[in-house]
Amino acid sequence: MNGTLEVLVASSQLENRRALIHVLEALSANVISSSSIQQAAEVLAQRPIELVFCDDQLPDGSYRDLLPVARARTQSPRVVVTSRVGEWEEYLEAMRLGAFDFIRGPMHPTDVELVVLRAQHDQDQRAA
C-alpha cells in the first residue's frame, strides 16, 4: 500500500473512537470518523477508504448494515468489527458476513497495529 492509509472509524463510543484514532494516526493513517452507519455510508460514497473499523452496534444500525455498502464499492475496503462484548458467535457471524477481522474490546494498540499490517499485506498481495 503506497502512501497514507485511508481509514474510517465508525463508533458511537467517544472514548473508544478517540483511542482508536490515536493509534491509527500514530501509524500515519489518515483517519475519518463517524458516529453512525449513515455517516459512515456517506463517507464511503464520497472518498476511497481502505480500512474501516466499525462498532458492532451504532445508534442507527450495526456493522451488518455497513458491510454491504462497503462491498458495493469498486475498491471495497476491509471492514474490522469492534465489539465490547466479543462473543464467539458474533465473531463467527462477522466473518461469515465478510468482515476482514474482529477485535474485542478493550482494544490494545498492538491488536490495531496487527490488523493494519495484515490489511496492508493483503492490499499489496492484491496489487501484485
Lowest mean pLDDT among 4-8, 24-28, 71-75: 71-75
Question: Could you tell me if residue 8 is left (phi over 0), alpha (psi between -120 and 50 degrees) or otherwise beta?
Answer: beta
Interacting residues of 101 by C-beta distance below 8 A, sequence separation 6+: 78, 80, 81, 115, 118
Mean pLDDT of the chain: 91
pLDDT in tens, 55-88: 999 999 999 999 999 999 888 899 999 998 878 9
d(CA 4, CA 77): 14
d(CA 70, CA 17): 20
Sign of CA dihedral 2, 121, 123, 5: negative
**pLDDT band, very low/low/confident/very high, at 110 (cuts 50, 70, 90):** very high
Dihedral over alpha carbons 38, 66, 119, 109 (to 10 degrees): 70
**CATH numbers and ranges of domains, the chain:** 6-127 (3.40.50.2300)
d(CA 7, CA 21): 9
**3-state class (DSSP) for residue 52:** strand
Average pLDDT over residues 46-63: 95
In the predicted structure, residue 2 carries a pLDDT above the cut 60? no
In the predicted structure, residue 1 carries a pLDDT above the cut 80? no
